[in-house]
A and B are shown apart, each in its own frame.
Chain A
């Protein structure tokens, strides 16, 4: 009950600034309440039939509840991914691209603190919506005494519109840590503004437990997001990390080798039948996302390892490029 109020306050606050897609928490709760009201009187007369019927399916709810929730989840994930990508492009842009972006978007605030705040807002948005979705599904299962909610969640993860699965969330967390650290480096000249009212997430941290890198983010609601940054192929900290569409993170070189493609061609040329080494889902290489912010974060956090790895991988890429162009020459000349 109190989460609903908190969520509504947050969404109201956000809607004042811009028109955000969100989970219609109140509307969905109304649907569930109506369903509960309909079921209560008939339970008295036909207990066995209703129990049997209830545990299976509820056609009234399934007809309106899940399609609506699905559509809202798609909107939320789409909006989040789009804006995260824009923000990160702005931050990672350099030279001519940055100048071009500056000319185009004059009104946008580009100072350090503005970027930090915007990144924080995006992470807040992602996490609060994830919590809202989780709670509404739990409530659904509670009312109907069923497993439909969990099944729906699993199906949604397969369709890749689970917001916590998004690689951009990982990027934003790394982005947040990067900006905070660079802020410290540049000195505390900027005075911090009063903390926002809806500060749900206490901050991100990159920790090394027994040599294993872990990117963790904790909500005040005791919900925690942990992302393991160990490549499961080379069993080392990820270097030049890339996230497949199923959400698993690998080194770029390891992913290319696993997909049997050359580094020069890139993962875009991988076959549709190539599978993720962990979850064996096929067709996950084409939409892979380079996690550049995470790479910067790892470079800063463990510099010695990063430099050593960079030398090794540079030599290997050079060799692969040589092989590639040798092959191209031979194929053109027909020798």
Chain B
């Protein structure tokens, strides 16, 4: 019923509809995700906190934006519930998100991405973009709080989907393991013991974090440089299109295609004589064709002037 609204000939839409069917046919207890009615490239999701961690029992909502050329480009993820591991209302940096398109595989899907997201929760952020590192007790408090009410976000339709997903996950999720009163009295001593034992490991961890942070800084610099290069490329293309306003739309539409072609052409120069002569011949033919086109488009007077010269 709803499927008939969308343009089914678009391969991205076909792929997304297939994934929706598969999600509904095989629902999971750990997560649920639904696309918006009005825009199938916008999804709402909720994941259950992984077991045996401080996130256990928590219900974390988020939003997924699929690109127009999905599944050949990765989606972007944004978490809406405070969780102590990822920032809210900010796109997060993961190997499955659009921060790293080189790591994305077309055979991955929203399902695999959500499974990976659940697996990423207990890991150390190591200074990645969109990540935070709260203490464990604070994370547990946030987990308990996340069950009570879903976050308020977006339009009423989106909020309805969020509430629906929250109810589903709430019916599936386990209860948060609450600390007993007896353990409360013993907690300070246990914490102190753990602290004394873990102290040397913390030193090692600090060293590791510093080295990894340095690596992340280098990686971030590379990403920034790549972005700058992309911007420069786009900027250089635009002036070339300016002399021909009629062709401008076509040029903009196929910018990415041009980049691909340009790279391939640059990487494979052909020095053969035959190819050179063939290219010259083709060039002449194309010039003749363009000249004819030019004469026709500019009318009789231009043709007359050309005949004079």
Contacts and interface: CB of A to CB of B under 8 A. Distances in A.
Partners in one complex: yes
Interface string B255-274: 00110110011000000000
A42 interface: no
Given A235-B19, A235-B22, A236-B14, A331 B265 contact: yes
Contact of A277 (B105, B243, B244, B250): B105
Contacts of B250: 326
Contact of B257 (A234, A258, A312, A323): A323
B5 interface: no
B231 interface: no
Interface in B1-34: 9, 11, 14-15, 18-19, 22
B206 interface: no
Interface in B55-109: 71-72, 105-107, 109
B105 A234 contact: no
Interface SS of B by simple majority: helix
Interface in A318-333: 323-324, 326-327, 329, 331-333
A324 B94 CA distance: 34
Given A312-B9, A329-B286, A332-B283, A232 B257 contact: no
B11 A234 contact: yes
B116 interface: no
A326 B265 CA distance: 15
A256 to B, nearest CB: 10
A254 interface: yes
A277 B9 contact: no
A33 interface: no
A233 B287 contact: no
Contacts of A235: 15, 18-19, 22, 109
Contacts of B224: none
B36 interface: no
B290 interface: yes
A233 B282 contact: no
B106 A236 contact: no
Counting contact residues on chain A (CB < 8 A from B), the size range is 20 to 34
Interface in A275-322: 275, 277-278, 280, 312, 315-316
Contacts of B15: 233-235
Counting contact residues on chain B (CB < 8 A from A), the size range is 20 to 34
Interface in A221-248: 232-236
B107 A278 contact: yes
A85 interface: no
A331 B279 CA distance: 11
Contact of B72 (A257, A275, A280): A257
Nearest to B22: A235
Contact of A333 (B240, B254, B261, B287): B287
A335 interface: yes
A269 interface: yes
B261 to A, nearest CB: 5
B283 A333 contact: yes
B107 A332 contact: no
B286 A332 contact: yes
A277 B286 contact: no
Given A323-B254, A335-B244, A254 B14 contact: no
B99 to A, nearest CB: 19
B254 A327 contact: yes
Nearest to B8: A312
Interface in B210-249: 240, 243-244
B106 to A, nearest CB: 5
B9 A269 contact: no
A236 B72 contact: no
Given A275-B105, A277-B107, A315-B9, 17 more contacts: A232-B107, A233-B15, A233-B71, A233-B106, A233-B107, A234-B11, A235-B15, A260-B260, A265-B264, A269-B264, A323-B257, A326-B250, A332-B282, A333-B286, A333-B290, A335-B240, A335-B243
Interface of A: 232-236, 253-254, 257-258, 260-262, 265, 269, 275, 277-278, 280, 312, 315-316, 323-324, 326-327, 329, 331-333, 335
16 contacts: A232-B106, A232-B107, A233-B106, A235-B18, A235-B22, A254-B106, A258-B72, A261-B260, A277-B105, A315-B9, A323-B254, A323-B257, A324-B261, A331-B265, A332-B282, A335-B243
Interface of B: 9, 11, 14-15, 18-19, 22, 71-72, 105-107, 109, 240, 243-244, 250, 254, 257-258, 260-261, 264-265, 279, 282-283, 286-287, 290
Give me the 6 closest cross-chain CB pairs, A-B, nearest first: A235-B18, A232-B107, A277-B107, A277-B106, A233-B106, A332-B283
